[in-house]
A and B are shown apart, each in its own frame.
Chain A
Amino acid sequence: MVQLNNVRMVYSSSGTEALNGVSFKVDDGEFVFLVGPSGSGKTTIMKLITGEVNATSGRIIVNDFDMRRIKRRKLPQMRRTLGVIFQDFRLIENMTVYDNVAFAMRVVGASNRQIRKRVPYVLELVGLEGREKRFPNELSGGEQQRVAIARALVNNPRMIVADEPTGNLDPVRSLELMLLFEKINSMGTTIMVVTHEKELVNAFAKRVISIDNGVVIGDGMDGYFGNEA
């Protein structure tokens, strides 16, 4: 569950006001699109949720963690409840598909046995069976993003947050990816997809939170609201 209450964010380095009074709540098990043009504040919301930056004022709850009061040493625990996916995949180039996914489990202290059991299951779930020994540069963009999804899923997070996951993919691959997210959502994981692709959003009848100029301008099931790109 993610809840933002009257969140304001001013970057101290540049003095830019990225968010001004943003409030919304995403319940467990929901599938939500967070949309808006570039510079609208989408990425800032992502960073606030993952604990990369701290809000100037307001209240943010992520999976029961109060992000404005969280202690630094508690951040890893909070992050383990999230699976994060980026536009540029962020895979480790010199590791195989299998190791990229297993790596995320090792980091949180899983045993070799747990890893051997869980990784093939997750790779199959995202449709990458048979690709275990490939390296990221031997895969297509869509496949690389699936590795990133497998990595985000492998620790069984309560919520997946994807920042422009289809930004580097063609429309067909993008659609496939969204279907994959839908499948994951149907298994109980909350999904929040940050995007500015209107057509993709409108192809799914999901809740859409629209942001522009750091303010929520729409929240509902009516599709993409506001300007694209």
Chain B
Amino acid sequence: MTEWMGISGMKLNRVGYLIREGFRSIFTHGFMSFASVTIIMACLIIMGSVSLLSLNIDALIKDLENQNEVVAYVDEKINDDAQIRAIGDAIRTIGNVQSAEFVSRGEAMDKFMSNYDSDLMEGIDETVFRHRYVIHLTDISLMAQTKAQLEAVDGISEAKAHTQYAKAFVSIRNVVTVVSLVLIVILVFVSIFIMTNTIKLATFSRREEIAIMKMVGATNSFIRMPFVIEGLVLGILGGGLGYLAEWGIYDGLTVKVVGSMAGSFLNIIPFTSVALFVFIIFIGLGILVGVFGALNAIRNYLKV
């Protein structure tokens, strides 16, 4: 590792020289440096926006999932409290059941009545309703399976579940995850490609210098170092500026979305709760793209 970085046995003033060289190159190729920082920034912003969007969709789906409950009706013949409790315990032993809440027929009727005009419903007897368990699941994609397991519980006459919604949620989530992953991978490669070409331009104009360095006995790691530093600095700059821009864009959009009628019902993840994570990813990817781009660009010149 240290040999790769060219630090092994290197004196401090040599490191200082290499760092200065790296920075010098950034300023000598000012326009290309500006271009690479901008490109890294743009790629990171697109990547970050897609990820944050997918994170929000994920949170939204989770939210909706939590509202998506399975109702298991207790057999009408069973009225004994102890028996009903035993059914509840049996339900809770099913792996995918997160919670099971008992709702008596009386409570069910009250809830029903509260939703409708009580005058119309006058005279309805609570025996029309059944005792039931309202169940939340851990994994919504296993809803159909869990429904069957619930129906197999002794004392449960029927279970109702909106499996079609569950399927839709799961497929939306899968699509969002796949699309964002594919986009991220593509953008990382695009950034590395652009970075490679930027540093290649820097190396091209300095190929004579590199040839002379080789001739007087410079090691490959010594030659590589200034370019790696250049890539590293440009990567960190692109990552840092991209992070600030992402923050601004996200906050601006959040205010707009929440401010609108439709958006006011949405629970959007605040940027501050993911800020550190986004920062680490942006800087990390910036460094990765910068350093890989530099190493890639310089490779051909080191063969002699």
A residues sitting closer than 8 Å to B (CB atoms) are 50, 52, 73, 76-80, 84, 90, 92, 103-104, 106-109, 111-112, 151, 155
B304 touches A107 (CB 8 A): no
Interface members, chain B 5-23 (any A CB < 8 Å): 10-11, 13-14, 17
B147-175 toward A: CB 8 Å interface, digit per residue (1/0)? 00000000000000000000000000000
A107 proximity list for chain B (CB < 8 A): 213, 216-218, 222
* Chain A CB within 8 A of B215 CB: yes
Q: How far is the CB of A91 from chain B (nearest CB, A)?
A: 8
Q: Which of A76, A84, A92, A108 has the most chain B CB within a 10 Å cutoff?
A: A76
B13 with A90: CB separation less than 8 A: no
- Please, which residues of chain B bring their CB within 8 A of the CB of A151? 216
Any A CB within 8 A of the CB of B214: yes
Q: Which of B201-237 contact A (CB under 8 A)?
A: 208-209, 211-220, 222
Distance, CA A108 to CA B222, complexed state (A): 9
A109 & B10 in contact (Cβ 8 Å cutoff) = yes
In whole Å, how far is A217's beta carbon from the nearest beta carbon of chain B?
Answer: 29
Find chain A residues with CB under 8 A from B208 CB. 90, 92
Is the beta-carbon distance between A106 and B14 smaller than 8 angstroms? Answer: yes
Residues of B within 8 Å of A, CB-based: how many?
19
Q: Is the CB of A76 within 8 A of B217?
A: yes
User: Among A73, A90, A92, A109, which residue has the most Cβ atoms of chain B within 10 A?
Assistant: A109
| A108 engages B217 (CB within 8 Å) | yes
A73 contacts B11, C-beta separation under 8 Å: no
Q: Contacts A90-B212, A92-B208: A76 and B11 contacting too (C-beta < 8 A)?
A: no
Is the pair A76, B219 in contact by a Cβ cutoff of 8 Å?
yes
Task: Please report the C-alpha to C-alpha distance between residue A109 and residue B304 in the assembled complex, in whole angstroms.
Answer: 21
B216 touches A104 (CB 8 A): yes
Nearest-neighbor residue (CB-CB) of A51 within chain B? B304
Nearest chain A CB to B211's CB is how many angstroms away? 7
Q: Given known contacts A52-B304, A90-B211, A106-B17, is B216 in contact with A155 (CB within 8 Å)?
A: yes
A111 touches B11 (CB 8 A): yes
- Complex CA distance for A125 and B135, rounded to whole angstroms: 93
Closest to A112 in B: B13
Q: Are A76 and B215 neighbours in the complex by a CB distance under 8 Å?
A: no
User: Nearest Cβ distance between residue A134 and chain B, in whole angstroms?
Assistant: 18
Q: State the CA gap A50–B214 with chains docked (Å).
A: 10
Instruction: List 18 A-B residue pairs with CB atoms under 8 Å apart, sorted by A's residue number.
Output: A73-B220, A76-B218, A76-B219, A76-B220, A79-B214, A79-B215, A80-B216, A90-B208, A90-B211, A90-B215, A92-B209, A103-B212, A104-B212, A107-B222, A108-B218, A109-B222, A151-B216, A155-B216
B214 CB contacts on chain A under 8 angstroms: 76, 79
How far apart are the CA atoms of A52 and B211 in the complex, in Å?
11
Roughly how many angstroms separate A78 CA and B10 CA in the complex, as a whole number?
Answer: 19
Docked Cα-Cα span, A123 to B208, in Å, equals: 22
A52-B304, A90-B212 known; A155-B217 Cβ under 8 A: yes
Q: Which residues of B contact A109 (CB under 8 A)?
A: 10-11, 14, 222
List of A residues within 8 angstroms of B215 by Cβ: 50, 79, 84, 90
List chain B residues, Cβ under 8 A from A76. 214, 217-220
Bound Cα distance from A77 to B10, whole angstroms: 15
Complex CA–CA separation, A54 to B149 (angstroms): 75
Q: Please, which residue of chain A has its CB at the minimum distance from the CB of B216?
A: A104
Closest chain-B Cβ to A38's Cβ sits at a distance in Å of 22
CA distance A80 to B219 in the complex (A): 10
Q: A79-B214, A92-B209, A111-B13 are in contact. List 20 more A-B contacts (CB 8 A).
A: A52-B304, A73-B219, A73-B220, A76-B219, A77-B217, A78-B217, A79-B215, A79-B216, A80-B217, A90-B211, A92-B208, A92-B212, A104-B212, A106-B17, A107-B213, A108-B216, A108-B217, A109-B10, A109-B222, A112-B13
Nearest 5 Cβ contacts at the A-B interface: A80-B217, A79-B217, A107-B218, A104-B216, A76-B217
Task: Specify which chain B residues have a CB less than 8 angstroms from the CB of A111 in the assembled complex.
Answer: 11, 13
Contacts of B14 in A (CB 8 A): 106, 109
What sequence of 0s and 1s flags, for each residue 21-52 of chain B, a beta carbon within 8 Å of any chain A beta carbon?
Answer: 00000000000000000000000000000000
Bound-state Cα–Cα, A73 to B219, Å: 7
- Alpha-carbon distance between A194 and B140 when the two chains are bound, in angstroms: 81
